[in-house]
Structure 1
Amino acid sequence: MKAMILAAGKGERMRPLTLTTPKPLLSAGGKPLIEHLLERLHRANFWDVVINHAWLGEQIEFTLGKGERFGLSLHYSREGEPLETAGGIVRALPLLTANGDDWFMVINGDIWSDFDLTRLQSMTASELSATDAVLVMADNPPHHRHGDFCLNDKGRLSGECTGKDGEKLTFTGISLLHRRLFDGLTDQAGKLGPVLLTAMGKGRVAGLHHQGVWVDVGTPERLRALDQHMTIQEP
């Protein structure tokens, strides 16, 4: 199974840091955010990784190369202008499914988490039955208190909470997706949210509640906080 890192955004909330550096190459804990992700992917036995890029993407390719030093094989999906999440994934589908794989893992290039990615790598056919997507969800952080989707007691996600479904959780940007989720879509700019909501309406999106560490590194303040956290964690 292949993995994809989403790295095409301009990182506007990170300015001025991202005026000259793409957000995934910003450092925390002594190395770029994307390198932490690559190391975690290697430990989870994801060997082939596709990275999409647009803004300052040549810096990403120059820094990471073909992936040898991470023990990975890296492939790049070049967008020119950002296609947003759904468009970027559709553009990269030929790379993600080249070996006949129907499932692939997608992770945002601007997050940090201790979620065990092997949980997605090792999911069985029965666990994925009648499912087009599995999203990793987290408790709502202070900057996103209202959450994104509801996770019910059967492990399914919905856009609205009804009855005993409880409160919404926040999508971490880590997911396992099936190629059929994008049937009929073209590689034009488009968001992933509407695609997921359509699948949720058919009961075809599952969720995993991660209760460990997850950081959406969306602002300079959060980047500094993550850097401090990682420095403290060092032996």
Structure 2
Amino acid sequence: MQAMVLAAGYGTRLKPFSLCRPKPLFPILNTPLLLATLERLQHSGFTTQALNCCHLSEQIVAATQHVPGLIIQEEQSILGTGGGIRQMLPKISAEPLLVTNGDIYHSIDFQTIYEQHCSSDAPISLVLHNYPRFNNVNVSENTIVGFGKTSRGSSDQLAYTGIQIVEPAILKGIQPGVYSCIIEYYRSLLADGVQLNAIIIDDCFWTDMGTPADYLQLHEDLLIGNAPVWAELEAKNIEPFFSSDQAVIDQSCRFADWACIGRARVGRDVVVKRSVVWDDAQINDGTEISEAIIIPEMYKSPGY
């Protein structure tokens, strides 16, 4: 089985943090999300793995150089969700390709949805769920009939999870080497009568980690037990105040509600509340941090 991770975006809504680190490398419980995702795919049986990257691509290349057999596509400009996959086609086989966004954390079983696609007659399967904030895919009897206001007839609205399985040949209609939105391409396929299958997942945990608030909320959910912790995160003894074994934390430091501390230095009389501190960050004596993301490149996030 083969899979591709989309990891090329700018992470605009996560600025200023995404100016110094690409969003797929944001740590989740001190492990970069991209590395955990690739390992999770490997454990699910996807022996062929690929990814595309553009923004701060050198960091992604460096972080994944130890992943055996990984196909890395560095793009000189953003090709979009359609263009990036299209550019990858000559590098992969003709078998079904699972594609996942590189900024999502979820409890969806990759192997199960891949098998569901393979048992269908459709060339494309989008994995959907009910998430009112993003519900804009129109579905009728497990078939996608439209996106947003372009639906045909009576349908329910669900949200795209950012995971799909496609037959690579169907994507050859995308012009190579130029920007393309995959949803716009799928709209054109629908207009031509191509069937788009809906794999509907009920009762899953899912978040897209698109904003600083989403990123912090994910950590809260993980640390207080509201979200499943991937085995690939290698996070042991999960509790509301979670820290790396290599963190240097003064004994006078106080934590409130929850906090995640990487390989960082935390000074005397520091208060950390509902915050994530990345590897190599430093918090000076007497600082109070609340609902913040602390990164090495800046003392603390603006507004705190």
If the TM-score is normalised by the length of the shorter chain, which range does it land in?
0.7 to 0.9
* Offset of residue 226 of structure 1: 0.6
Which of the numbers 76, 82, 97 marks the counterpart of 1:86? 82
Whether 2:198 is the aligned partner of 1:207: answer yes
Residue identity in the other structure for 1:226:
L
- The answer for unaligned runs of 5 or more in structure 1 is none
Q: What is the Cα-based RMSD across aligned positions, in Å?
A: 1.8
Q: Could you give the per-residue CA deviations for residues 53-98 of structure 1, whole angstroms, max 9, x where no partner exists?
A: 0010110111121414xxxx3110110111111111111111222x
**Contact kept? 1:156, 1:203, Cα under 8 Å:** no
Q: What is the rounded CA distance, in whole Å, between the counterparts of 1:38 and 1:231 in structure 2?
A: 22
**Closer, same or farther: CA 134–124 of 1 in aligned 2, 3 Å:** closer
* Offset of residue 229 of structure 1: 1.4
Q: Could you give the per-residue CA deviations for residues 11-37 of structure 1, whole angstroms, max 9, x where no partner exists?
A: 110001101100000112221111221
**Contact kept? 1:66, 1:75, Cα under 8 Å:** no
TM-score (norm: length of structure 1): 0.87
Q: What is the rounded CA distance, in whole Å, between the counterparts of 1:164 and 1:136 in structure 2?
A: 20
| 2:57 equivalent in structure 1 | 57
**Closer, same or farther: CA 124–23 of 1 in aligned 2, 3 Å:** closer
Which of the numbers 141, 160, 170 marks the counterpart of 2:159? 170
Residue identity in the other structure for 2:124:
A
Give matches, 1:16-165, under 5 Å. Answer: 16-68=16-68, 73-97=69-93, 101-123=94-116, 125=118, 127-129=119-121, 131-142=122-133, 144=134, 147-153=135-141, 155-159=142-146, 160-165=150-155
* Offset of residue 40 of structure 1: 1.9
Which of the numbers 211, 217, 234 marks the counterpart of 1:219? 211
TM-score (norm: length of structure 2): 0.68
SS of alignment partner, residue 175 of structure 1: strand
* Offset of residue 123 of structure 1: 3.5
* Offset of residue 203 of structure 1: 4.2
Q: Which has the higher helix share?
A: 1
* Offset of residue 124 of structure 1: 6.6
Q: What is the rounded CA distance, in whole Å, between the counterparts of 1:85 and 1:47 in structure 2?
A: 22
**Contact kept? 1:14, 1:220, Cα under 8 Å:** yes
* Offset of residue 141 of structure 1: 4.0
* Offset of residue 42 of structure 1: 1.6
Q: Which range is displaced more, 75-84 or 28-37? A: 28-37
Q: Could you give the per-residue CA deviations for residues 140-193 of structure 1, whole angstroms, max 9, x where no partner exists?
A: 243x3xx2211212x110114454423x11111100011222223222111111
Q: Which has the larger radius of gyration?
A: 2
* Offset of residue 102 of structure 1: 3.2
Which of the numbers 136, 146, 170 marks the counterpart of 1:181? 170
**Contact kept? 2:86, 2:172, Cα under 8 Å:** no
Which of the numbers 176, 180, 183 marks the counterpart of 1:190? 180
Q: What is the rounded CA distance, in whole Å, between the counterparts of 1:174 and 1:86 in structure 2?
A: 13
Residue identity in the other structure for 1:75:
I
Whether 2:7 is the aligned partner of 1:7: answer yes
**Closer, same or farther: CA 35–231 of 1 in aligned 2, 3 Å:** farther
* Offset of residue 119 of structure 1: 1.5
**Closer, same or farther: CA 55–124 of 1 in aligned 2, 3 Å:** closer
Q: Could you give the per-residue CA deviations for residues 107-145 of structure 1, whole angstroms, max 9, x where no partner exists?
A: 0001111001111332475x331x121000121243x3x
